[in-house]
Amino acid sequence: MSLACGLQYLALAGSIMTIPMSSTESIVCKPTPWFLLRALVMLLMFGVFTVLFYIDGTTGYRKKNEVFYLNKAFQAANEAFSKMNVGGALTPDAWTAFASKQEVSIPADRSVMPVNLTLPMPWPAVLHDFERMKSLEWNILWREYTRERGLNAAPPEHPYDAGKIREQMIVCVICAVLSGTAGFFLVRTLRRSISVDGQAIVAQDGRRVLFADFKKLDLRKWETKGIAFLHYGDASGEGKIRVDGLTYGGFAQKDGEPAERLMRQIRANFSGEIIEYAAAEGTTAEVTPPAA
């Protein structure tokens, strides 16, 4: 062992020995606003995603398909009118007769279209109007038509097939599960706490473990992540308690650093093995305090 490591070991051991061997202060660490805010944000985020994917999977993508194929019909009507009216030979009656027989071209899989859509779908009435079509400004007619019907004038770049629509529902279910999970942990954590007194620790799940039953305290993640592990064992079996200072208590100075106070109380009553990182060289030091 190097001299530096030896000095560190003695310093750690000395610091343990100076901790009072018992303390009767009762400390209760409840869920922190930091955790509750994060859980609430996740709940809202997944909840919003669930709604958005549900809308797209049930009506949204089908409505976009309707806009896509209607837009194609306006373009087709403009091209047909232009070809039929070469030299100005097209008459209003001839155009009306032609337009009344046309239908909006839609895919063979009707399931990708809105369920309340009447099929086959004839050309919109505005495309039958000879005078309005004569200007060949189909885009203006399109904007007027979509405004009257409450449709989005900007069609999608491509239609959505049944697979894409099905994907939205699959992702919707996944987001719903994640939203439910986030809600479950939020509600469960709201009802939990970690407490300590001079005799025992009461974990988040209600387990009460006496200090005499604890064998090891792992503090290697306490300084960086605010997490520690208490290992215990008795005639009833073995187990581990996770102390998460960011979730319970917190480290806010304005609140008196409840998690730090909790850990000081634990160490003051703990008599087993303590594992923590040596700050100077980043090595792990295992210190077992001498018996009282």
Per-residue pLDDT of the chain (292 residues; tens, 9 = 90+): 443 444 343 333 333 333 344 456 789 999 999 999 999 999 999 999 999 999 999 999 999 999 999 999 999 999 999 999 988 889 999 999 999 999 999 999 999 999 999 888 999 999 999 999 999 999 999 999 999 999 999 999 999 999 999 999 999 999 999 999 999 999 999 999 999 988 899 999 999 999 999 999 999 999 999 999 999 998 667 899 999 999 999 999 998 999 999 999 999 999 889 998 765 445 555 555 544 4
- State the CB neighbour count (10 A cutoff) for residue 186: 17
Which value, to the nearest 10 degrees, does the dihedral of the CA atoms of residues 59, 61, 63, 69 take? -150
- State the CB neighbour count (10 A cutoff) for residue 88: 7
C-alpha triplet 92, 93, 96: angle, nearest 5°: 85
Beta strands at 208-210 and 214-218: parallel, antiparallel or unpaired: unpaired
Q: Is 291 helix (H, G, I), strand (E, B) or coil?
A: coil
Cα Rg, the chain, nearest whole Å: 36
Write down the residue that tokens 């994907």 correspond to. Answer: 167
Read off the pTM: 0.73
